[in-house]
Structure 1
Amino acid sequence: MSKIAFLFPGQGSQSVGMGQDLAEKYEEVKNIFNEADQALNDSLSELIQNGPQETLTLTTNAQPALLTTSIAVLQKVKEFNIKADYVAGHSLGEYTALVAAGSLEFRDAVQIVRKRGEFMEAAVPNGQGSMAAILGMDAEKLTEITDQVTETVSSVQLANLNCPGQIVISGTKEGVEKACELAKENGARRAIPLEVSGPFHSRLMEPASQKLDEVLQNHSIVDAKIPVISNVTAEPVTDADQIKDLLIKQLYSPVRWEDSIKTMIDLGVDTFIEIGPGKVLTGLVRKIDRKVKTYNIFDEDSLNKTVEQLRGDK
């Protein structure tokens, strides 16, 4: 029996105008953007629609903007009776997955991720932390390097285990630079510094996780109706307390994306649908396993095309 997973993008996929063709045409989509504005007491929809891109890309804006756009697109997907057996999201996208799974109310999620963005920005002074993508090195070897650098130079950890041969590291500027140098000396194909505003998913985010814990106390998280694959464990979770605990750990733990996709494939998923801006996640899925089917839904054209293909596959 064919199983479907919905995937939700994380920070980096944002762009001015995302989701607007659907919002202009459909009241129920527009309502999601309006609801985000009300929840934040801010004109987030105006920023999404008109930019500028630099302001939209700020962590405190990008996180609620991506969550809102993905949930807005999901509104239309639901109308075609496409249902997920599992949901997962990359970093921030995990909050979108929790809304899709009925564990978090949309309004609560928007408020939480706005705060999460603020805490992540504030955890490390600008310019002191960084991230880099290491290509062509396995996790074990890279962990040895980052552990060595953390002990001898400065803090750095594995942050995103995205797909075979693509791992992102995160930490202090000095720690990341030294780890990049050693990775290249030890056979990594490339080390690419990333344009980010902080060392996300590293131990330097622990102060942010403590503040996030306090925010989560004020919002209701219930058991998920659809299993959510946790970034931290790469395993399905539905229990509300466990979900909350994992969201706190997620801030300073690596995103185990490759393992998450493999878990879903082992559970029988053969169709992955990325819902929301960009095509990053389906690109990673194809690098993990070329045999599964991947689709993207980010506007009306891609929605109609995906629906048509899914009907044809049955």
Structure 2
Amino acid sequence: MIGTAFVFPGQGSQYVGMDSHLLAQRPDLADAYYRTADDLLGIPLSRLARQGPARDLDDPAVSQPAVLLTSLVTLDLLRGLGIEPGIVAGHSLGEYTALVAADVLEWTDALALVRLRGELVATVDDRVPGATAAVLGLDRARVARLCAEVAAGGGTVEASGDNGPGQTVISGEVAAVARAAAAALTAGASRVVPLKAGGSFHSRLLRGIEAEFTEALIATPFRDPVVPLVSSTTGARITTAAEAVVALRSQLTSPVRWTGAVRALGAAGADRFVEVGPGRALGGLIRRIAPDARVHATDNARQLALTQHAFTTTAAV
């Protein structure tokens, strides 16, 4: 029985000070992760994550490695407490953390890939400014049709993520995303929420960077998963190193299938989910997809303590 799934958040979950509660409990992890990352990347990532400013932290080339590292520190801390996953998955960027948790990637290799991913996406955004938004209250098929209608009139906008019932993410050029958002509201959407992720993630606008990123993937050592792993790109299990490479390559331009991933985790036997890293967005989505699941957070000292208590109590029963 798998029981516990660890799920890892992606771009947009970052906030200034997101690692403070973790390093207060385990200051040794600052050396193990952040100072190593500062040296590897050549940027003051530890300072930006802890002190900001938020403007700099929201740059994809900074926020992506910062979210990865904060999730890795949380994972290390949880494992130090004896809390282990039976299966793992990550939302978009979070898939890299899941691959580390499943022993597919070394964390330093994941960091390098994530940094490159953020830099390449930024080059696309410099040429064609992009945006990402969540459409609430319409089903995904309706949102996809609206995007197609808007794109037919000029510009690129796509349904780039199935986050759960009634929540579809759209990505593309800024003006086209704005038109699609207006069309969604006219069609009955309850809200359209711009996302901190920004950019044109998971859209065809990123096709131009696929070749360079694929070269980096091929040059990186991948292993077969040791811990069962579900991809948010396909919503299916990843069982080999080769499948992991394909998933990360496809992820650039393919929609996130988070509903499918959560259902696959449940079908594998997961009935308890721990959101490992900053924010609690995934927990909210999981509750909509799998209402009977138990969901735990780790994004502040109180939530981390509650999660530890829940697992300690379960182990004692």
TM-score w.r.t. length of structure 2 = 0.93
Cα distance in 1 between the residues matched to 2:206 and 2:132: 13
Aligned 8 A contact 1:225 1:238 in 2: no
Runs of 4+ in 1 over 6 A off after TM superposition: none
Matches within 5 A, 1:89-100: 89-100=90-101
Residue identity matched to 2:256 = V
Aligned 8 A contact 1:29 1:73 in 2: no
Cα distance in 2 between the residues matched to 1:196 and 1:95: 16
Residue of structure 1 in register with 2:12 after alignment = 12
Deviation at 1:80, TM superposition (A): 2.2
2:38 counterpart of 1:33: no
Deviation at 1:218, TM superposition (A): 2.3
Deviations 1:213-235 (A, max 9, x none): 12212221111111221121101
Q: Which runs of 5+ in 1 are unaligned?
A: none
2:238 counterpart of 1:233: no
Q: Which runs of 5+ in 2 are unaligned?
A: none
Aligned 8 A contact 1:2 1:271 in 2: no
Deviation at 1:300, TM superposition (A): 4.4
Residue of structure 2 in register with 1:154 after alignment = 155
Cα distance in 2 between the residues matched to 1:185 and 1:94: 34
Deviations 1:10-32 (A, max 9, x none): 11111222222332442541222
Residue of structure 2 in register with 1:3 after alignment = 3
Q: Percent identity?
A: 37
Cα distance in 2 between the residues matched to 1:117 and 1:277: 18
Residue identity matched to 1:136 = G
Cα distance in 1 between the residues matched to 2:139 and 2:121: 27
Cα distance in 2 between the residues matched to 1:13 and 1:192: 14
SS state at 1:278 partner: coil
Deviation at 1:104, TM superposition (A): 0.6
- Structure 1 stretch 228-237 or stretch 144-153: which is displaced more? 144-153
Aligned 8 A contact 1:94 1:231 in 2: yes
Matches within 5 A, 1:107-186: 107-125=108-126, 128-186=129-187
Cα distance in 2 between the residues matched to 1:191 and 1:47: 29
Deviations 1:198-255 (A, max 9, x none): 1111110111222211221222111111122112110110211111111011011111
Deviation at 1:301, TM superposition (A): 3.8
Aligned 8 A contact 1:28 1:75 in 2: no
2:17 counterpart of 1:23: no
Aligned 8 A contact 1:282 1:295 in 2: yes
Residue identity matched to 1:205 = L
Residue of structure 2 in register with 1:213 after alignment = 214
Residue identity matched to 1:109 = A
Residue identity matched to 1:119 = L
Aligned 8 A contact 1:6 1:272 in 2: yes
Deviation at 1:298, TM superposition (A): 3.0
Residue of structure 1 in register with 2:64 after alignment = 63
Residue of structure 2 in register with 1:190 after alignment = 191
Residue identity matched to 1:259 = G
Deviations 1:97-140 (A, max 9, x none): 11111011011111111110000111133673222221111111
Aligned 8 A contact 2:11 2:196 in 1: no
SS state at 1:162 partner: strand
Residue identity matched to 1:48 = A
SS state at 2:202 partner: coil
Cα distance in 1 between the residues matched to 2:16 and 2:189: 35
Cα distance in 2 between the residues matched to 1:138 and 1:125: 32
SS state at 1:125 partner: helix
Residue of structure 2 in register with 1:244 after alignment = 245
SS state at 1:72 partner: helix
**Count of aligned pairs:** 314
Deviation at 1:84, TM superposition (A): 1.1
Cα distance in 1 between the residues matched to 2:22 and 2:163: 30
2:265 counterpart of 1:264: yes
Cα distance in 1 between the residues matched to 2:16 and 2:181: 32
The 3 A distance-change label for structure 1 pair 110 and 236 is same
Deviations 1:157-204 (A, max 9, x none): 111211111111111223223322332333322333445441111110
Aligned 8 A contact 2:2 2:87 in 1: no
Aligned 8 A contact 1:126 1:197 in 2: no
Cα distance in 2 between the residues matched to 1:175 and 1:162: 21
Cα distance in 2 between the residues matched to 1:213 and 1:47: 29
SS state at 2:297 partner: strand
Aligned 8 A contact 2:104 2:241 in 1: yes
